[in-house]
Amino acid sequence: MGTLAQQLVNGVVIGAVYGLIALGYTMVYGIVRLINFAQGGLYAAGAFIGLEVVEILQAHRVESPALLILAALAGAMIATGALAFLVERVAYRPLRRAPILSALVSSLAVLFLIENVIQLLTGAQPQTYPSLLGLQPWTLGPITLAPSGLLIVLVALGLMGAMQWFVQRTRTGRAMRAIAVNQEVAGLMGVDVRRVVALTFVMGGALGAAAGVLVGLNYGTITFNMGELAGLEGFTAAVLGGIGNVPGALVGGLVLGLLQSLITIVLPNQWNEAVVFAVLIAVLAFRPRGILGERVAERA
Amino acid sequence: MTGLGRLPLPASAVRLWQARRRPRVRLGLRVGGLALVAGFASAPFWLGNSYDTDVFCDMALWAAIGLGLNVVIGFAGLLDLGYMAFYAFGGYTFATLSLHLGFSLWEALPLGTILAGVASAVFGFPTLRLRGDYLAIMTLGFGGIVDIAANNLSLTGGANGLYGMAPQSVFGYQLSTNNVIGYYVLALALVAVAALATYRFRHAKIGRAWACIKDDELAAAASGIRVTRCKLQAYVLGAIWAGVAGAIFAAKQGLVSPETFTFDQSFFAVAIVVLGGMGSIPGVILGAVLYILISEYFQGITGTYSGLIFSVLLLVTVLVRPRGLIPYTPGQRVRARARDGPPAGAGSAPDPLPLEDFRCAD
């Protein structure tokens, strides 16, 4: 019973991370219909930028953990957002009218480019994140929860709510939804398509960066290729919840996280990732619109 | 000529460039090119260094893989990000049968390819109906599952893989795994077979159906092409070929391990095809040569520059030269004739009409 409850808690924490990465995919896919493979790379870049911010501030004798965490999150989100802007400008915008294959390959190339740059700058060894939130986890009966776990869930929920509000309630959000329905017509109605698409990529990158920093804080180590698997897990969460759907990202993330941590009770740990892949294939094959998705994935 | 006029080049250079179309010059260029290719391909024989031979053998094997994947991506337009999983099927089948039952490479090869083919058909049947980007991600997932299974099953030897297979022979000739010149010849034969077979496939009925599906699936279906079946055929054909290459690779290495079948490897296979030119047979071979040259040349420095350079090269290619380094341009000959006049003995054909932009919009 104790392990079950513990696994549920772990599942919610990891699910929140998946949800954040999924949110980045969903924003981009919902609007330009492109699986942005570079999302995983942006997530890794965010984690490393956050670490860099923390190290620089610590070198300048900033001690307050709250300040450090805030600075790491803000710095990583801004810098990765800028990186995503650059990526959109260089690698996607010229391919907007090209076959989908070109854009997919281009985003894969960007993923590998980011990974290789990180590896060149920091080396292949895992990097250690400072534990800023204190080492004592809270215990409640048999369940333990690290403070960073709670932080992940809170930040994920906050960003998710902010996104939902942004997409549904602001003028730019309405422009995004219009572009999702029909890019050409939205343009004719006076929406600055290029600007809004660029903004979407920036937001996706910033969300990925937030997830990267939070994962670093929670698990303590980051590696240059952390984005490959996390990107796939995030994408699975997005598809599971219904890609293009903001609340769906959170639902998909939580379901996937819970499933993954509950499965460890039956299966050895190494098979964990196989579960993700199996869920991905099953969902795409049998229910491509996901749990909450309104839009049916177009069949050829 | 197109585009060249825009560059600020001296007139003599432009004239030199234009001279390449004169029949005698063209013949000379072709002979020269062939000699260059033959010289390059035979390099291991006169270099005689076992390390270089190994590099060339990898090149030829990657070219064979690329040509197989070219059918899937270049001909049928299916983005397969888990292609190396089928390579793994071939390799592991050979290794397992060789270690436990003493099978030779030639006895294990058919079984490995059948297994790869069956696996691809079982996986491809439900998934090939999905649209392009979903298919890409599903093949990625499939590759991931195979990778994890190879890492964790006892049958496949876990992360260490399987090793210690008996040395193989072909027509009584012993293939050494120390100096792999024998395997190099085998791999060259593989490339030749793949190039010839895919060339024939392209011009067969199925090849035209693939081209049609790639251009417009809806129109293809409307013209009576069974889209899913044709796609499945391309996918299974590619997988079978990967199985063959995988078994030979395993025999050459004397080892199979999960490292050789990761997502990265599948990505590089895709990159070779896209870089060289989707659908282009010489292009894909060039892509494989470039890939191995870059990874060999830059490996010595830190081991990571090669990935960086290769991904930049790929990105630049997709953006600047989307059809690859040596593009496949169907109907090229027809257009060349329209441009240059009749080919036979028409050495001094007058300058043609301005038909420079007589090419299909893509």
On the question of pLDDT at B358 being above 60, the answer is: no
- Chain A residues with beta carbon closer than 8 angstroms to that of B140: 232
Region B20-25 average pLDDT = 81
**What residues make up the domain containing B100?**
55-262
| Chain A residues lying within 8 Å of B311, measured CB to CB | 109-110, 112-113, 116
Give residue-wise pLDDT tens across range B223-232: 999 999 999 9
Task: Name which of A190, B188, B306, B325 is nearest B180 in CA terms.
Answer: B188
- Select from B90, B99, B115 the least CA-distant residue to B162: B99
- Residue identified by tokens 């000699």 is B35
Judged by a CB distance cut-off of 8 A, whether residue B149 touches chain A is yes
B194 against A299, higher pLDDT:
B194
Residue of B nearest to A277 (CA): B141
Those of residues 27-56 in A touching chain B at CB distance below 8 A are 33-35
Within a domain: residue B286? no
Kindly report the nearest CA distance between residue A121 and chain B, in angstroms: 10
Q: Do B144 and A232 touch (CB under 8 A)?
A: yes
Q: How confident is the model at residue A135 (pLDDT cuts 50, 70, 90)?
A: low
Amino acid type, B325: L
Q: Contacts of residue A228 in chain B, CB cutoff 8 Å? A: 263
Rg of the Cα atoms in chain B: 22
| Residue keyed to tokens 């291991």 | B44
> Which of A41-55, B171-185, B294-308 is the most confident on average?
A41-55
Above pLDDT 70, what percent of chain A?
Answer: 96
pLDDT at residue A236 is higher than 50: yes
Query: Is the separation of the CB atoms in B214 and B76 below 8 Å?
Result: yes
What confidence tier does A4 reach under pLDDT thresholds 50, 70, 90? confident
Interatomic CA distance for residues A69 and A210, integer angstroms: 11
- Number of domains, chain B: 1
> Does B265 touch chain A if contact means CB atoms closer than 8 Å?
no
Residue A193 lies in a domain: yes
Among A7-21, B175-189, B338-352, where is mean pLDDT lowest? B338-352
Q: Alpha-carbon distance B228 to B127, whole Å?
A: 10
Structural domain of A199:
2-129+140-286
Tell me the residues of chain B between 266 and 285 that have a Cβ less than 8 Å away from chain A.
267, 270-271, 274, 278
Count of structural domains within chain A: 1
- Interhelix angle B84-101/B227-253, rounded to 10 degrees, is 50
Residue in B77, B126, B270 nearest the CB of A105: B270
- B134, B278, B302: residue with CB nearest A288: B134
A110 closest CB neighbour out of B81, B271, B315: B315
The reply to whether B219 touches chain A by the CB within 8 Å rule is no
Lowest mean pLDDT among A137-141, B320-324, B347-351: B347-351
The reply to whether residue A119 touches residue B307, judged by beta carbons under 8 angstroms, is yes
- Nearest residue of B to residue A97, measured between CA atoms: B362
Residues contacting residue B105 through CB under 8 Å, at least 6 positions apart: B94, B98, B168, B247, B248, B251
How many Å lie between the alpha carbon of A235 and the closest alpha carbon of chain B?
9
pLDDT per residue over A206-217, tens digit each? 999 999 999 998
Separation of alpha carbons B159 and B147, rounded Å: 10
Q: Does residue B263 belong to the interface with chain A, where contact is any CB pair within 8 Å? A: yes
**pLDDT above 50: residue B140:** yes
- Residue B10, pLDDT > 50, answer yes
Residue among B145, B152, B314 minimizing CB distance to A278: B145
Q: Which of B134, B145, B308 has its CB closest to that of A113?
A: B308
Could you tell me if A116 and B307 are in contact, meaning their C-beta atoms sit under 8 angstroms apart?
yes
Q: What pLDDT is attached to residue A293? A: 67
Checking if the pLDDT of B173 tops 80, the result is: no
Cβ neighbours around A162 below 10 Å, total: 12
CB–CB contact B304 A124 (8 Å)? yes
pLDDT of B262 higher than 90 = no
C-alpha dihedral, A172 to A174 to A179 to A185, nearest 10°: -110
On the question of pLDDT at A141 being above 80, the answer is: no
Helix orientation angle between B281-299 and B263-276, rounded to the nearest 10 degrees: 130
Q: Which helix (H) or strand (E) holds B10?
A: none
CATH of the domain at A267: 1.10.3470
Determine how many CB atoms are found less than 10 A away from the CB of residue B335: 15
Mutate which of B148, B216, B265, B270 to disrupt the A interface (most A C-beta within 10 Å)? Answer: B148
For residue A170, give the DSSP letter.
S
CB contact burial A59-91 (16+ within 10 A = b; e otherwise) = eeeeeebeebbebbbbbbbbbbbebbeebbeeb
B129 and A300 in contact by Cβ < 8 A? yes
Interface of B with A in 294-313 (CB under 8 A): 302, 304-305, 307-308, 310-312
- Per-residue b or e along A127-161, where b marks 16 or more CB atoms closer than 10 Å to that residue's CB: bebeebbeeeeeeeeebebbbbbbbbbebbeebbe
Q: Which residues of A touch B133 (CB under 8 A)?
A: 33-35, 100, 104
Q: Rounded to an integer, what distance in angstroms lies between the CA atom of residue A208 and that of residue A238?
A: 13
Report, as an integer, the average pLDDT of B163-190.
81
- Residue B346 is predicted with a pLDDT of 45
- B267·A268 Cβ contact <8 A: no
Residues 6+ apart with CB under 8 A from B119: B85, B86, B89, B239
**What are the tens digits of pLDDT across the range B101-121?**
888 888 889 999 999 999 999
Neighbour-count burial for A100-124, b at 16+ CB within 10 Å, e otherwise: bbbbbbbbbbbbbbbbbbbbbebee
Q: Which of B114, B54, B248 is nearest to B168 (CA)?
A: B248
Residue of A nearest to B152 (CA): A270
- Using CA coordinates, name the residue in chain A closest to B272: A105
What's the average model confidence in pLDDT over A111-138?
A: 84
The string of pLDDT tens digits covering residues A240-249 is 888 888 888 9
Query: How confident is residue B20, by pLDDT bands cut at 50, 70 and 90?
Result: confident
Q: Which helix (H) or strand (E) holds B163?
A: strand B162-163
Tell me which residue in B130, B138, B264 faces A299 most closely, judged by beta carbons.
B130
**CB-CB contact of B39 with B170 (8 Å):** no
CB contact under 8 A, B319 and A94: yes
Query: Cα separation of B21 and B36, whole Å?
Result: 19
User: Tokens for B246?
Assistant: 């995988």
The number of angstroms, rounded, from the C-alpha of B250 to the middle of its chain's C-alpha atoms is: 18
Helix (H) or strand (E) holding A139: strand A138-140
CA B175 – CA B194 distance, rounded (Å): 22
From B25's Cα to the closest Cα of chain A, the distance in A is 36
pLDDT, one tens digit per residue, over A143-188 is: 778 888 888 899 999 999 999 999 999 999 999 999 988 888 999 9
Nearest-by-CA chain B residue for A275: B145
Determine how many CB atoms are found less than 10 A away from the CB of residue B287. Answer: 30
Average pLDDT, chain A: 87
Other beta carbons within 10 Å of B296: 16
Chain A residues with CB under 8 Å of B267 CB are 108, 112
A267 and chain B in contact, CB less than 8 A: no
Intra-chain end-to-end CA distance of chain B, in Å: 19
Report the residue from A106, A115, A274 with minimal CB separation from B318.
A106
User: Is residue B285 in a domain?
Assistant: no
pLDDT classification of A19: cutoffs 50, 70, 90: very high
Mean pLDDT of chain B: 83
Q: Please, what sign has the CA dihedral across residues B357, B359, B361, B362? A: negative
**Dihedral of alpha carbons B184, B185, B189, B191, sign:** positive
Confidence of residue B284 (pLDDT cuts 50, 70, 90): very high
pLDDT range class, residue A300, cuts 50, 70, 90: very low
Mean pLDDT value of segment B86-95: 92
Burial of B106 (0-12, 13-18, 19+ CB in 10 A): middle
CB A252 within 8 A of CB A18: yes
Q: Above pLDDT 90, what percent of chain A?
A: 44
Res B303: pLDDT? 52
Tell me whether B217 touches chain A (CB under 8 Å).
yes
Q: Does A240 touch chain B (CB under 8 A)?
A: no
Name the residue facing A300 among B217, B315, B322 (closest C-beta). Answer: B217
Interface with chain A: mutation pick from B122, B311, B362, highest number of A CBs within 10 Å: B311
What are the pLDDT digits (tens) for A60-88? 888 888 889 999 999 999 999 999 999 99
Q: Do A105 and B314 touch (CB under 8 A)?
A: yes
Q: Hunting for tokens 């409850």 — which residue is that?
A: A5
CB nearest A113 (choices: B148, B217, B315): B315
Q: Is residue B27 part of a domain?
A: no
pLDDT digits (tens, 9 = 90+) for B29-84: 889 988 888 888 888 888 778 888 888 998 999 999 999 999 999 999 999 999 99
Give the DSSP per-residue string, B232-293: HHHHHHHHHHHHHHHHHHHHHHTEE-GGGGSHHHHHHHHHHHHHH-TT-HHHHHHHHHHHHH
B 327-356 → A contacts, CB under 8 A: none
Q: Is residue A295 part of a domain?
A: no
Judge whether B211 is closer than 8 Å to chain A, CB to CB.
no
Does position B357 have pLDDT exceeding 60, yes or no? no
Select the more confidently predicted residue: B19 or B79: B79
pLDDT at A294: 59
Which single residue is written with the structure tokens 């924490």? A13
